[in-house]
Structure 1
């Protein structure tokens, strides 16, 4: 799907306790979510999608009779641009919003030059502009750095921010005790609704570049589960339950991904070997899960994640080789 083909009004799923899942319209429907949290007329957004996500979200806010001035906070679970690329445009349109970001990511939101350059180096300038548009600086006085244990109150509703590395070192998750929920960004993996079978979701890790750390990933999952959440809201994509089962699978798959990387490390076509092994593993797990989608549909849904996961595993391999 090209950006010009996106519908202005994205799909929205509303849950109890003031939580809504808004499709970020990132590449395809159901790939990335922006979460809206409303408490007594005061609202927050959790993650932003890209700049191209902004018009759709603003239209949803208008439909819900939420004025731009009612948005008090924009939370960035981390600063990868599918989560943070829309932050500067949202901050321009939401005059009272403060941006809440991990201390390791705050400087890159205030001065995004290095962040933009790094992503452009991967995609090239033309592709970057097509995917993300312009990334503008955000005034430092509107940025709140949120170290581990920060509590932000949304009209008296406490939101606990926990440092959760593993996917990225600039990642936090949000615990909302009111709804017994965690907003997990990428820490608790990826779960596309197309893979749901009889209301049971399928979840797998995201090891995309450049800071995958398997030991930290395991520890972060355990830390989240210690809160005994009833449900999780993933940026990719939306609400999942059955968290005990999913945590066990995440642990298993993190170890399996690491083993795939280690076995591929001596292969002459290391990247291709990892891609094929990841595809085979996830296809087998999906079959066990009961997924009956055609193989071509599964391959299409997994293609980008497998490619990025293999890239991230390669960077992790190279890093571990240097420090060993």
Structure 2
């Protein structure tokens, strides 16, 4: 019997709920083609048993995995990569060139997260980061194509959320594995109007102009699906993804306007959080979401906090 944390999405693609934070919050993807496999994003160290269990449930040996591809090196996407690679003897890690050194030597990545979260939270949510041997890791190149048992996967550079971010195009499903570039879409917010999503400006490399260009580049492929890390596949009707792209970019513009208005505010962080909460609650109301405001705020609390932090870092950067 297949574990309930694995969801088949068709075309040999499986979403694995990593268990990070809450159910259906953080996904890793397993792609299977002619008996070979690739993981796209890994979740944290605590997700590794689930990823290995997914292989077992599908009748695949760990040696069947050819690729591990984090979309970027934030810990909810790549924190478990080093530990996972220890169980996958044939796999190569493919990461954005700006993230390669952090996968080979994750000490700086760990220390940066430690400064934000503290020791107790790091152990609870992430565990000790494990290095990937240099000879088993390689950097991607913009517009590079790799193959999984003859199935082509195209990688493109997609800055905006982070400078170390790439997205993966699967021509078979006409879908992008978007990491955080195409925002966050939690299933609790689905209504009869479809899915809803919001941008993520998590510290420290949010760049709204680059994010807009990356989203437009993704949409130029006329995709039929987006496979989000947070959470799952979106885009089931032809009009869904253009609508969601427009929603995403409109919210980016609202976030930027809010940040510029509050650049010199005395209690900037609190006011940024209040302003972001108001943007998201109004948008959800317009989307037809019927959940109580208190529940919506609880579901969005982490993202409101991190988006406020990321906006502040962007506001404080010297402008060219």
- TM-score band by shorter chain is over 0.9
Distance 1:196 1:12 in 2: 20
8 Å CA contact 1:37, 1:43 repeated in 2: yes
Shift of 1:58: 1.3
Q: Which residue of 2 aligns with 1:227?
A: 221
Q: Which residue of 2 aligns with 1:170?
A: 164
Q: Which residue of 2 aligns with 1:72?
A: 66
Q: Which residue of 2 aligns with 1:43?
A: 37
5+ long unaligned stretches in structure 1: 1-8
8 Å CA contact 1:167, 1:208 repeated in 2: yes
Query: Match of 1:323, SS?
Result: coil
Structure 1 pair 211–10 and aligned structure 2 pair: CA distance change class (3 A) = farther
Displaced runs of 4+ in structure 1, greater than 4 A? none
Q: Which residue of 1 aligns with 2:241?
A: 243
Distance 1:287 1:244 in 2: 20
Distance 2:4 2:95 in 1: 25
Shift of 1:199: 6.2
Query: Match of 1:153, SS?
Result: strand
- 1:99-248 alignment, distance < 5 Å: 99-198=93-192, 200-241=194-235, 242-248=240-246
Q: Which residue of 2 aligns with 1:4?
A: none
Shift of 1:126: 2.4
Distance 1:161 1:94 in 2: 22
Distance 2:120 2:288 in 1: 40
TM-score, structure 2 as length reference: 0.96
Query: Match of 1:184, SS?
Result: strand
Is 1:323 aligned with 2:308? Answer: no
Structure 1 pair 276–99 and aligned structure 2 pair: CA distance change class (3 A) = same
Is 1:15 aligned with 2:9? Answer: yes
Shift of 1:14: 0.5
Q: 1:305 aligns with which of 303, 306, 309?
A: 303
Aligned length: 315
Query: Match of 2:67, SS?
Result: strand
Distance 1:205 1:127 in 2: 24
Distance 1:147 1:272 in 2: 40
Query: Match of 2:98, SS?
Result: helix
Query: Match of 2:15, SS?
Result: strand
Q: Name which of structure 1's ranges 162-171 and 88-97 shifts more when overlaid on structure 2.
A: 88-97
Distance 2:193 2:168 in 1: 24
Shift of 1:294: 1.3
1:156-198 per-residue CA deviation (whole Å, 9 max, x = no partner) reads: 1100000000000000000101110000000000000010002
RMSD of aligned C-alpha atoms? Answer: 1.2
Distance 1:191 1:285 in 2: 13
Shift of 1:59: 1.4
8 Å CA contact 2:160, 2:206 repeated in 1: yes
8 Å CA contact 1:10, 1:22 repeated in 2: no
8 Å CA contact 1:10, 1:25 repeated in 2: no
8 Å CA contact 2:193, 2:288 repeated in 1: no
Query: Match of 2:194, SS?
Result: coil
Distance 1:302 1:127 in 2: 19
Shift of 1:15: 1.7
Is 1:266 aligned with 2:225? Answer: no
